[in-house]
Structure 1
Amino acid sequence: MSFSIKGKSCIVTGASHGLGLAIARHFAERGAYVMAADSDDKRLAEALAADAEAEDSRLRYFAGDLRQRLAQANLVSATIDAFDRVDVLVNAYRMVLPSKPGNPDEDAVEELLQQNLLTALRMTQLVSKRFVKQAEGSEDEGGVGCVINMSSIAARRTHPRLLAYSVSTAALDQMTRSMAVALAPDRIRVNAVSFGSVLTTSLNQAMNENEGYREDIVSHTPMGRIAQPSEVAEVVQFLASESAGFITGQVVTMDGGRSLVDPVGAPAH
């Protein structure tokens, strides 16, 4: 059995940049049909228009405020219209904001819980209903769909500037486990990938703007480097494949060993 996702219909949220974009492209290159979704219409079009317009493209994109239930429903409908079904949901619609824990007007908790947790939860609930509907009448005892959430090692660490991000990702990890148990009788798998530093455009920019930032990250990572987006995409592909058919409720950590030794004083970039 391989890690193939060829022919699967996938929704990838947060796909206008960063990990979401890397995962959407990676899936399409591996033969999956991909609906890449985000709220930033212009950025999404700039990132994916050429991919979507290619003659042999398996990729489409959808723009809408995914925090809103109507946009979520429209996204699923657009995916069905384009590909007839949904097999995989990747929740990568996430945000990192600095927090001031002592100030209720600047702690960012409500905003990040809405985007990082509730959007993923509502999308999971909505898509799981579609999974079940698609499986009606089938005698196949295999899985009917899977969800992969994008989390962070910040969920297990304490740093004041990351209060809201840490709380939202910790909640996302628990949601992953809870939904995995709840949806297992319907043969739906739910897992998460918890990552450390990944060389996305935003991290590159942060390192260019802050002297010593790269060295700070690398020095706190036992493997001595920063992960590539493609490495995260490969792990997500494995979790989406039939090879992971008996894996559910797991938060898979890929951080080069950082969470094993990282001191509280160094934020999880």
Structure 2
Amino acid sequence: MTAADRFDLTGKVALITGAAGGIGRVTATRLAREGASVVVTDIDERGCKDLAGELTAQGHRALGVAMDVTDNAGVATAVATAASTFGPVDLLVNNAIVACPIPPKLHEAPTSLWDTDLDVIVKGAVRCCQSVLPSMMARRTGVIVNLVSVNAFAFYGHPSYSAAKAALVSFTRSLAVEYGPYGIRANAVNPGTIRTAAWAEQEAKDSTVFDALAQWYPLGRVGEPDDVAASVCFLASGSAAWITGSVLTVDGGLTAGNPVMARSVEGS
């Protein structure tokens, strides 16, 4: 990371959900390196506390707190713990999901899958926002970044996850408009395929899965967690001071067009 890649978040308190692994882990690490005090939350208590310990050992300010985003009281307690340790939350990153690497077909999916995706992704973000917004409103400052997905805008599989992420896009815009007068900004980061452990099941079946997916990306590769983390840091920083209600697409060009089809049309 060079000086040109830096976003100064010194003095900010950031709370990240789903932070024990994958995108959340890298995002929490990047935020800490940018100077933020990070509250690493996850339903995986050991995972979030281990990460917080690693960051603390590196000289960063970090706290690991077990939190289930489907539990109202648990969310409120985690936010209160963050405030009592570092101060009120300045940045909330809603990243929690339930991993479902190979989902069932729509007509075979149990309603419980829909209930879970909507409860964790949408209502989980709502619970977290409701817990941090009063303090942000009182201080007339704050940033919320929601992690959505290209699945919110086109069908790439997993209907319940896609629907939940689409709802989160709408929720982001609602936050931006309703709380903008309080100096609070809300934006979404919209990733394409990101190389994380969530793909382990597919990769175990086919070690070339990322190579196969890369052909659909104009930049010729799938994304890495730091591609997303850098975008979160940008939106959290003063460099994005007049950006709110926006969706920052970080997808290597996937939604810009279809390179495979384009080559076929061109006869190449």
TM-score (norm. length: structure 2): 0.88
- Maintained 8 Å contact 2:49/2:65: no
Q: In structure 1, the residue corresponding to 2:121 is in which secondary structure?
A: helix
Q: Residues of 2 paired with 1:206 and 1:169: CA distance? A: 22
Q: In structure 2, the residue corresponding to 1:3 is in which secondary structure?
A: coil
Cα pair distance change 1:47/1:33, threshold 3 Å: closer
- The size of the alignment, in residue pairs, is 252
Q: Residues of 2 paired with 1:123 and 1:192: CA distance? A: 15
Given candidates 28, 32, 35, the residue that maps to 2:36 is 32
Map 1:232-247 onto structure 2 (within 5 A). Answer: 232-247=228-243
Q: Residues of 2 paired with 1:262 and 1:75: CA distance? A: 43
- Maintained 8 Å contact 1:3/1:237: yes
Q: What residue identity is the alignment partner of 1:19?
A: I
Q: Residues of 1 paired with 2:17 and 2:46: CA distance? A: 15
Decide which moves more: 120-129 or 248-257.
Answer: 120-129
Cα pair distance change 1:14/1:262, threshold 3 Å: farther
* Alignment-derived partner of residue 267 in structure 1: none
- Corresponding position: 1:78 with 2:74: no
Q: What residue identity is the alignment partner of 2:143?
A: C
Q: Residues of 1 paired with 2:190 and 2:243: CA distance? A: 15
Decide which moves more: 145-154 or 92-101.
Answer: 92-101
Given candidates 83, 93, 116, the residue that maps to 2:96 is 93
- Corresponding position: 1:19 with 2:15: no
Q: Residues of 2 paired with 1:42 and 1:84: CA distance? A: 23
Q: Residues of 2 paired with 1:33 and 1:158: CA distance? A: 37
* Alignment-derived partner of residue 120 in structure 2: 115
Over the aligned positions, Cα root-mean-square deviation in angstroms equals 1.9
Tell me the percent identity. 31
Given candidates 143, 149, 153, the residue that maps to 1:152 is 149
Gaps of 5+ in 1: 136-143, 264-269
Q: Residues of 2 paired with 1:243 and 1:133: CA distance? A: 23
- Corresponding position: 1:6 with 2:2: no
Shift of 1:262: 4.8
Shift of 1:237: 0.5
Superposed structure 1 runs of 4+ greater than 4 Å apart? none
Q: Residues of 1 paired with 2:223 and 2:87: CA distance? A: 35
Shift of 1:227: 1.6
Q: In structure 1, the residue corresponding to 2:217 is in which secondary structure?
A: coil
Cα pair distance change 1:185/1:203, threshold 3 Å: same
* Alignment-derived partner of residue 171 in structure 2: 175
* Alignment-derived partner of residue 162 in structure 2: 166
- Maintained 8 Å contact 1:16/1:48: no
* Alignment-derived partner of residue 132 in structure 1: 137
TM-score (norm. length: structure 1): 0.87
Cα deviation, 1:98-153, whole Å, max 9, x if unaligned, reads: 14311362572111011111101221122111111234xxxxxxxx0010000100
Q: Residues of 2 paired with 1:8 and 1:197: CA distance? A: 29
- Maintained 8 Å contact 1:100/1:106: no
Q: What residue identity is the alignment partner of 2:138?
A: K
